[in-house]
Amino acid sequence: MFAGRYLWWMLIAIAIFLFFTMCFDYVTWLTVVSSGCARIAGSCGPIIVTMTGSMKPSGVYLAGGIILVVTLARIHYLSMNWIWGVIVAIWFVASAPFPLLLANGWTGQLKPEAVLDGLPVAFLFFVIFCAYIGWSFEESGARPFGAWRALRAIISVTAVYGALLALSEAPAFATIPGRVLGEMRLSTSIAALQPGLHDVLTLWAGRDTFAYIVFAVFVVGLAASLLPQNLEELRARFVPPFMPRGSRQ
């Protein structure tokens, strides 16, 4: 999937998400009013339950599914390692509840403190990565993550750290084996390991300060990979503006 189509589908998914989280309640209200169910006591309940309990969540899940599928398709198109698909899926699952939390802001029920407390680091990793792969690598001829081996290693290590942190924080990873596979023992084991893994990744600080530092390194690494990888070209682009006028050639 080339960059233009990827960005188009991402915008479609965002539009679907905004519609179902911010506007669908008005559609429900209009449906109830136009159906005339208010004339018969109790007849509006099934309509409201169907639209708010089934159709609205389905629209939100549709938007999330589109984002995940097109991201994986873009990773495949860029011939990136399949491990990146696994990392992205982990980030996606760990950050999925956060957009639903933001949707409450439309009703005035959201406080800034709740946003900061509920913001998973995995959501930041996922957003930045999705924005990064939207770069038109196929037109510029650039290589994703750059050509420098050290820079690629830094990006990979920080991304793996973000995935491990997501695994240690999201309760969903402990409940999935029990719900999907029926392995309650595995779910219990994962839930027991998550706090210890989180302590190791946060250096026993009890806060995500170190995680944000790693995220900053991840962002800087991605930004640096978009710069010219040829040192001579890089010097020719950035050094002349800072040189004295008489010394320029």
Q: What digits encode the pLDDT tens for the residues 12-22?
A: 999 998 888 88
Sign of CA dihedral 52, 56, 61, 64: negative
123 and 243 co-located in one domain? yes
Nearest to 222 by CA among 140, 150, 144, 136: 144
Question: Final residue of a domain: which of 77, 108, 135?
Answer: 77
DSSP-based helix, strand, coil % in the chain, nearest 5: 80, 0, 20
19 and 133 co-located in one domain? no
Helix extents (H) in 108-147 = 112-118, 121-133, 137-140
Q: How far is CA 101 from CA 104, 116, 169, 216, 224, in A?
A: 6, 11, 17, 24, 33
97 and 129 co-located in one domain? yes
Residue 59 sits in which domain range? 1-77
Q: How many domains does the chain have?
A: 2
Q: Who's near 92: CB < 8 A, 6+ residues apart?
A: 64, 67, 68, 71, 126
72 and 189 co-located in one domain? no
pLDDT for 131-188, tens place per residue? Answer: 999 888 877 777 888 888 899 999 999 999 999 999 988 888 878 777 777 778 878 8
pLDDT for 6-46, tens place per residue? Answer: 899 999 999 998 888 888 888 888 888 887 776 776 677 77
209 and 236 co-located in one domain? yes
Burial (Cβ within 10 Å: 0-12, 13-18, ≥19) of residue 30: exposed
Give CA–CA dist 232/235, Å, rounded: 5
134 and 235 co-located in one domain? yes
Reported residue count of the chain is 249
